[in-house]
Structure 1
Amino acid sequence: MSKSFIFVTGNANKLREVKAILASGDSDIECTSQSVDVPELQGTTQEVAIAKVKDAAEKLGAACVTEDTALCFDALNGLPGPYIKDFMAGIGHDGLNKMLVGFNNTKATALCTFAYSAGPGTEPILFEGRTEGNIVPPRGPTAFGWDPCFQPIEGGGLTYAEMAHEDKNKISHRYRALEKLRIYLASQ
């Protein structure tokens, strides 16, 4: 029996990655997407993810998944964290590096949280994935968020942006979280 959910996103790059990761496994999980206006709340990554998926499930009346990505700098006690999208819009790739001037620590954690709701009124379940790395001067294509500035420890010296999509998808924070979601859905 095929499992399916609506991935709530308007980001074509995220949708492409999610579909590629799901297709690389042996599961029969199907994902469609829909852009839904959900509130951008402040709080921890987990609080934001739960609120967004509850709102989306109510609006769609169906099983759905939301995704939140955070980029957490060690030197800044986890900031910008879930606010990375706003930081990128305000200061860009170079600004992310400038935030670390004066610190001897460029370590960062890429954190992805998928929130799954079986439908309206159900309690959301969270699936998190982490990839450790460092913030570096931007290298590679700039088409996908902060990828040019994040050099994963497992990336052989490449930034996410410099990596082939297939290689990134094997080690990314998104892959790790989505794999947990896929295992959960396959067991239902």
Structure 2
Amino acid sequence: MTQISLITGNAGKAREYASLLGIAVTPVREDLAEIQSLDVTEVVHRKAAEAYRLLGSPVLVDDTGLALDAWNGFPGALIRWVLKARGVDGVLTMVGDDPARAATVTTAIGYVDAHGDVQVFTGSLHGTIAPEPRGDNGFGYDSIFIPSSGGGRTYAEMAPEEKNEISHRRLAVNALRKGLDLAPTNA
């Protein structure tokens, strides 16, 4: 495989995937129906099948979720909608003063081959929710998620390269590379 399409409206995300995978990644903007589920793997499996139906060629899709232990995994894959409606302050309100601030971020990547067969690869990273936003980098919940391997810093307090070395997306890409038997890159 030397190139693939990625369903996204974000050219930067396509460049990031190209760097991580070592192949050409073309961003394709498509509005895909998204099932409502806390489980990113379910969401991605459906989105990948629909993307293949629309494009008729190999394609990647992804989705990311933030699961709060105190809320039994909510919002999960619905985090985008929580952030849109209430922002990170809404997530902080959900967690409140609960000392159980554990959270897990998971990225699922759906790959559909030339025959329409869907494979889903995931990467998860455990951490905690900060009591208040910290840092200026990143987006979404990066200012409140403290990965367990991050030395007590939020994603937003890390340089992008540092975050990318330990992130849930990196772990999902590593699983994808292994599952598709792609040679490693230096990224």
From 110, 114, 138, the equivalent of 2:105 is 110
- AA aligned to 1:67 is D
Higher helix share: 1
Match of 2:117 in 1: 123
Shift of residue 144, structure 1, vs aligned partner: 1.4
Match of 2:95 in 1: 100
TM norm structure 2 = 0.89
SS in 2 for 1:21: helix
Match of 1:35 in 2: 29
C-alpha deviations, 1:118-162, integer Å up to 9, x for none?
14x622101000111111111112651111111111111211111
CA distance in 2, matches of 1:21, 1:37: 25
Over aligned residues, Cα RMSD in angstroms? 1.9
Match of 2:2 in 1: 3
Determine if contact 1:29/1:182 at 8 Å carries over to the other structure: no
Shift of residue 66, structure 1, vs aligned partner: 0.4
In the alignment of these two chains, the number of paired residues is 181
Determine if contact 1:21/1:169 at 8 Å carries over to the other structure: no
Shift of residue 12, structure 1, vs aligned partner: 4.3
Q: Is 1:166 aligned with 2:165? A: no
CA distance in 2, matches of 1:160, 1:150: 6
Determine if contact 1:150/1:159 at 8 Å carries over to the other structure: yes
CA distance in 1, matches of 2:125, 2:159: 17
Identity value in percent? 38
CA distance in 2, matches of 1:138, 1:57: 38
TM norm structure 1 = 0.88
Describe how 1:12-31 pairs up with structure 2 within 5 A.
12-22=11-21, 28-31=22-25
Residue segments in structure 1 that go unaligned for 5+ positions in a row: 23-27
Describe how 1:139-154 pairs up with structure 2 within 5 A.
139-141=134-136, 144-154=139-149
Determine if contact 1:160/1:168 at 8 Å carries over to the other structure: yes
Determine if contact 2:66/2:76 at 8 Å carries over to the other structure: yes
Which portions of structure 1, spanning 4 or more consecutive aligned residues, are displaced by more than 2 angstroms?
Answer: 11-22, 183-188
Q: Is 1:50 aligned with 2:49? A: no
CA distance in 1, matches of 2:32, 2:67: 23
Shift of residue 20, structure 1, vs aligned partner: 3.7
Shift of residue 90, structure 1, vs aligned partner: 0.7
